[in-house]
Amino acid sequence: MVVPIDPPGRCLRADTIAFMDLPGIAIRLSFVAMSCMMSIGGCSGKSGPPLAAGSRTAYTTDQSKAALVAMQSILVGATNSSASISLVPAHGIRWSDLPKAISQAGAEKGIEVALAGSSKVGIATRYELLTIEGWPGVLQAAPQGTGIVMVASIGPYPDQPVARDRAARLVQLTHQRLLALGRLPKIEPYTVE
């Protein structure tokens, strides 16, 4: 049974669309879509904002040489490098990398803590943490010889086995991140003269 198409000027009913000339409609719609795209510049070849002007920052010869040496040391490796020893920490750990190492370790699944703040306590630094569940946590770090000693506690019940395991894992991952960050040469920021 064929249902007649509504006469012009009336809205089409949903049940009559199935009996219309669908291939013809598809061809007409694709023609309209192509016409619209061409008229708004979709095929003009220009896309996005114009390119930015080149950098006008000028570095001294010494700064350029230091940057080149650091880049080469990353490619070649620290053993075959002519990079200055001061660029890489002597024992592989920089105290200044600790907040970044804590943040990276805290982002791991199962740890999921954020660095909320820090304060000095004698020679140690106390890092306040906040877990994804909203619980408080603390990581205390102190320099010892050529390394860093860290102790952490997490959650409202830090003596529970799960909380102890989570804190121990945080300390372990933070130490791993510190060693990884310590392998990267650190160059003092350039100043434009």
Residue 19 has a pLDDT of 43
- Residue 177 burial (10 A CB sphere; 0-12, 13-18, 19+): buried
Domain boundaries, the chain: 88-182
Candidate from 6-15, 20-29, 148-157 with smallest mean pLDDT: 6-15
pLDDT tens digits for range 81-134: 444 445 566 667 888 889 999 999 999 999 999 999 999 989 999 999 999 999
pLDDT tens digits for range 153-162: 999 999 999 9
Judged against a pLDDT cut of 90, whether residue 61 lies above it is answered with: no
| CATH number for the domain whose boundaries are 88-182 | 3.10.450
Query: What is the pLDDT of the chain when averaged over all its residues?
Result: 75
Which of 81, 60, 104 has the alpha carbon at shortest distance from 193? Answer: 60
Q: Confidence class of residue 33 from pLDDT cuts 50, 70 and 90?
A: low
